[in-house]
Amino acid sequence: MLVQMETGQLLTMPSREIKKIEPSNSLILKIGTKQFSFVLENPVDKDIIDFYDVNFDNPLNENEIAKELEIRLKKFLKDFRNVFKVKLIVDNNLSTLVPKSLFDKKLCLEYLKYNVRLIKNDSASFDNIEEIDGVNVYLPYTNVNNYLFDNFGAFNYFHYSTLFIKEGVKYSQKVKNSANLNFRENCFDIVIFKNKKLMFYNSFDIQTKEDVLYFILSTFQENKLKLEKTHFLLSGKIEENDDVFVFLKSFHRKISILKQEILISSGIKNIDSVMLCA
C-alpha cells in the first residue's frame, strides 16, 4: 500500500511478528544511474557513523541498479536489523515541477511525457513542496523500492531535486535575490529565487569551469534575471581554492560556500550536503 506523505513517499507493509531487536541507526541512500551514496547516522545527534560512495563508469539500468544496491548495501551494513529508519533519495533527471493549483495525481505521467521518455508500465511518484506551492513529479526506481521494502519495511523516499529546492527556499529567506549552485561529479544543480519566488531550476552537465559560467550567464539572460543583484551560495564538491570557485569569484563578488557543521566535524568531504537534508 502506498501512502502519500507531505513530501516524498512512504512505503508501508503489514505488521508481522518478528524477533525483538533494538534498532538505533538511520540509513540515508542516494541512488542514481551513475552513483550511489550511503550515510549511516545517529538520529539523535545527527552524528555520521559511516559513509560510502561509489561512481560507475557507465550508467546502470533499473535492474542493474537494484542488483548493485543489494551487493553494496550488504557490504556496507553489518546488520540490517540495526537500522530503524530508511530514507531513499531518487537521483535522476526524470522529474518535472507542476504548480499545485494545476496538479492532479491522476495525470502524473501526462506531466512527465513532455520532457521524459516514458515506457510501458512506468509509474510516477510525487513530492509536495509546500514552500513553493508546487509539486515535484518524477519516476522512482521501482525495483529499488521493492528491495528496500522487503528488507526494511516502511521507508520514505524523495526526489533529489525536491530536497535541493527546499534548501534553496531557506537561503532565499535571507536575501532578496538568491541562487543556489550544488556541484557534483561532472554536473551542477541550480535553483534561482527572485523576491523569494522560485524562478528557475535545472541541472547541467559540465566538463570545465567555462561550462559553469556559460550555463549561469545563459540562464540569467534567458530568464531576464539580473546577475549583479543575485547572491550565490555554492555547495557540494567545491572549495574556496578550487579553480571553479576562483573563476566564478572573478566574475561575481556576491558568492560564498555553504558551511555545514556536521560535515566539518565528521571530517568527511565527499558527502553530498543535500543528502543530510532528507
The answer to whether 183 and 238 have CB atoms below 8 angstroms apart is yes
Supply the DSSP string of 229-251, one letter for each residue.
G-EEEEEES--TTSHHHHHHHHH
Q: pTM score, two decimals?
A: 0.86
What letter represents residue 225's amino acid?
A: L
Q: Which of these, 149, 160, 153, 208, lies nearest to 182 by C-alpha position? A: 160
Q: Where are the domains positioned within the chain? A: 167-277
Which helix H or strand E contains 262, and what residues bound it? Answer: helix 261-266
Give the pLDDT of residue 261: 59
Q: List Cβ neighbours of 129 (8 Å cut-off, separation of 6 or more).
A: 7, 97, 135, 136, 162, 165, 166
Collapsing DSSP to helix, strand or coil, 54 comes out as: strand
Q: Which of these, 171, 223, 218, lies nearest to 200 by C-alpha position? A: 223
Give the pLDDT of residue 108: 96
pLDDT tens string, the chain, 278 residues long: the values are: 333 334 455 444 343 343 344 567 899 999 999 999 999 998 888 888 899 999 999 999 999 999 999 999 999 998 888 898 999 999 999 999 999 999 999 999 999 998 888 888 889 999 999 999 999 999 999 999 999 999 999 999 999 999 999 999 999 999 999 999 999 988 999 999 999 999 999 999 999 999 999 999 999 999 999 999 999 999 988 988 999 999 999 999 999 998 765 555 556 667 888 888 87
Give the pLDDT of residue 36: 96
Q: Which of these, 183, 189, 133, lies nearest to 161 by C-alpha position? A: 189
Record: fold of 167-277: Nucleotidyltransferase; domain 5 (3.30.420)
Give the pLDDT of residue 46: 80
